[in-house]
A and B are shown apart, each in its own frame.
Chain A
């Protein structure tokens, strides 16, 4: 069965510091992976996606993620945090066969001034 694990329900970084949000998946077939961001009182917004091809994926707002098959990981990074990055981040895998998305439990990012 496919699943997604996000390590760390809360992450705090200083403004200007590296952001690293962790996501590991389990899948018996090639996964299709997504990162979404949710700002307070809003819906989820797609940051980036990996389906096939290049393993380093660039998204919006300066975020990127690298698909590492050997580590079953899809960690999200941003070189320099901005106050506006404070939000909830969800990793998701699209489950082939069931045609559903499985979301991780989310990581709340706090950016300190």
Chain B
């Protein structure tokens, strides 16, 4: 069982919809991440939160809006997405951000399809 829980597992949305992806961890980790993974590709970093503050935004389009309500929760709000945004969205956490031996713990992802 993964210690990082993501909901929903699957999401189909139209280009005019607004939806949110949710991520939760109870390992006491202080850093949380959003990654996007296309088929047969490695994960691509989108956002990093460290101690509930946004520390890295990899020039992600504004139609993706992250939120970290507390140290255990991470949301990704989606609005006006494009079909090319269809992908597996992975949440991860680590004990700290900026610590070299702090590996990432991934959830199982949300498979997003934009129609």
Contact = CB atoms under 8 A, between A and B. Distances in A.
Interface in A73-89: none
B100 A44 contact: no
Interface in B67-84: none
B100 A43 contact: no
Contact of B41 (A46, A51, A94, A105): A105
Contact of A103 (B6, B43, B48, B97): B43
Nearest to A108: B40
Interface string B39-75: 0111101001000000110000000000000000000
B106 interface: yes
Given A43-B4, A43-B107, A43-B108, A96 B100 contact: yes
A106 B42 contact: yes
Interface in A32-66: 32, 34, 36, 41-46, 49, 51
Chain A interface residue number, banded: 20 to 34
Contact of B42 (A41, A46, A105): A105
B101 to A, nearest CB: 4
Interface of B: 2, 4, 6, 40-43, 45, 48, 55-56, 90, 92, 97-98, 100-101, 103-109, 111
